[in-house]
């Protein structure tokens, strides 16, 4: 208890006296074991409502300090003003060697005889409680990202810590079959894999195909996520020069809506790409932390409680819809609609209407596409945000 108390005091002193960006190294005593973490606090004052909080989980035989340096998250956090936590896993004896591992199903399957898997969930709850007691945290904007074994641990966190995480991002890792349980509430999740990840190279040395065959070849990994989230195998697809994105939003009978995206990146090896280790020949190479952060932000906008200024006379029907959605104001607005915008879960504006607007307004799936979207209506006096879904 003394060690935990000292860690709390150190955290308080660093936060209280510094408005510049800070690296905070701390230790917590969890079930009689010291657990280590590194916290990044951006410069400046806390945002209104408190800081968003992101956990970045390293891979096997790696550490929190290592990913503090190489993941790219602290750079994004300084720009966007949120807290990042880089915890370190416990050390285990496994058939792969003595190394740090998270308490997910795959670790359990490779433990040496006599070693015991220790539950990491209390560690994550304690980190949130400890940090929230010292730094103002927005409890509605807590996210998790992980690489490899950390990417496998992240969906387990969303299942075993219900109501904590607003969104999750898995890099080169997927939910292990031993950790499958119904996810409630459903946490929007994005999992990224590379065609040249060593886990995908077949016995003849061939990489994962960069086409729809990848879905079939990775069906075991995908089915774990879909089963936990109650989703069918129906998907929509979009792509660019180096990535194909498969988005699953169609629930099984009796299940609520959910969002899962699985992406395959061409040429990506077993890496958490940071701008230097993948497509670094490009003027602006992709950075995984930036992609996940944009995803986290957009999901928060879509899933957040509707704006308190929303006009209760706004009717959206049917929602979800299979073909078209009607938007109608049942009573006259106190000011005319200036714009109507639709954003996808990446935060990208995909549709816009301006004055004059008729009543009702109809949105067509053929134009918007399938998935979860943010509808934003702006008048001279207010901005109304609503979630819409095209199946």
Nearest Cα residue to 352 out of 334, 330, 337: 337
Q: Is the pLDDT reported for residue 67 higher than 90?
A: yes
Fold of 2-303: Rossmann fold (3.40.50)
- Which of 21-30, 73-82, 177-186, 378-387 has the weakest average pLDDT? 378-387
Q: Is the pLDDT reported for residue 332 higher than 80?
A: no
pTM for this one?
A: 0.76
How much is the pLDDT for 384?
78
- The set of residues, in sequence order, having a beta carbon less than 8 Å from that of 304 and lying 6+ positions away, is 140, 385
Per residue in 210-229, pLDDT tens? Answer: 999 999 999 999 999 999 99
Q: What percent of the chain has pLDDT over 70?
A: 87
Domain extents for the chain? Answer: 2-303, 314-390
Mean predicted confidence (pLDDT) in 82-101: 98
Q: Please count the other Cβ atoms lying within 10 Å of the Cβ belonging to residue 216.
A: 9
Q: Report angle CA 186, 220, 300 to the nearest 5 degrees.
A: 25
Give the whole-angstrom CA distance, residue 191 versus residue 385: 27
How much is the pLDDT for 63?
99
Nearest Cα residue to 56 out of 35, 84, 37: 84
Q: Cα separations (Å) of 22 from 10, 25, 78, 197, 336?
A: 12, 10, 10, 34, 46
Per residue in 301-331, pLDDT tens? Answer: 555 433 344 444 577 778 788 889 888 765 5
The model's confidence at residue 199, banded by pLDDT at 50, 70 and 90, is confident
Per residue in 10-22, pLDDT tens? Answer: 454 444 445 678 9
Token readout for 139 is 């409890």
Fold of 314-390: Immunoglobulin-like (2.60.40)
Backbone angles phi, psi at 19, to 5 degrees: -110, 0
């Amino acid at each position: 208890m003394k060690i935990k108390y000292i860690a709390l005091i150190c955290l308080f002193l660093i936060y209280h006296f510094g408005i510049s960006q800070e690296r905070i190294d701390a230790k917590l005593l969890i079930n009689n074991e010291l657990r280590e973490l590194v916290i990044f606090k951006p410069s400046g004052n806390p945002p209104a409502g408190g800081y968003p909080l992101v956990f970045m989980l390293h891979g096997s035989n790696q550490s929190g300090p290592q990913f503090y340096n190489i993941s790219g998250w602290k750079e994004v956090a300084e720009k966007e003003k949120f807290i990042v936590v880089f915890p370190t896993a416990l050390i285990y004896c496994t058939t792969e060697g003595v190394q740090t591992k998270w308490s997910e199903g795959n670790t359990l399957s490779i433990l040496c005889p006599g070693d015991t898997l220790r539950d990491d969930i209390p560690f994550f709850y304690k980190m949130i409680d400890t940090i929230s007691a010292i730094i103002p945290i927005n409890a509605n904007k807590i996210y998790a990202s992980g690489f490899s074994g950390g990417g496998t641990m992240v969906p387990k966190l969303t299942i075993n810590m219900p109501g904590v995480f607003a969104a999750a991002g898995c890099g080169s890792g997927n939910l292990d079959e031993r950790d499958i349980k119904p996810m409630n509430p459903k946490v929007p999740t994005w999992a990224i894999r590379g065609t040249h990840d060593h886990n995908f190279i077949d016995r003849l040395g061939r990489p994962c195909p960069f086409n729809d065959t990848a879905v079939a070849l990775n069906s075991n990994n995908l089915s774990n996520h879909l089963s936990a989230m109650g989703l069918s195998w129906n998907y929509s697809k979009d792509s660019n020069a180096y990535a194909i994105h498969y988005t699953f939003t169609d629930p099984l009978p009796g299940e609520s809506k959910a969002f899962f995206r699985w992406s395959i990146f061409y040429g990506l090896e077993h890496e958490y790409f940071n701008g230097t280790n993948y497509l670094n020949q490009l003027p602006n190479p992709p950075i995984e932390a930036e992609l996940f952060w944009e995803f986290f932000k957009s999901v928060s906008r879509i899933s957040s409680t509707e704006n308190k200024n929303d006009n209760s006379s706004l009717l959206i029907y049917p929602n979800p819809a299979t073909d078209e959605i009607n938007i109608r104001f049942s009573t006259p607005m106190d000011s005319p609609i200036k714009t109507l915008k639709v954003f996808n879960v990446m935060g990208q504006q995909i549709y816009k209407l301006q004055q004059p607007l008729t009543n009702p307004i109809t949105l067509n799936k053929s134009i918007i596409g399938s998935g979860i979207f943010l509808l934003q209506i702006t008048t001279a006096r207010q901005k109304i945000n609503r979630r819409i879904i095209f199946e």
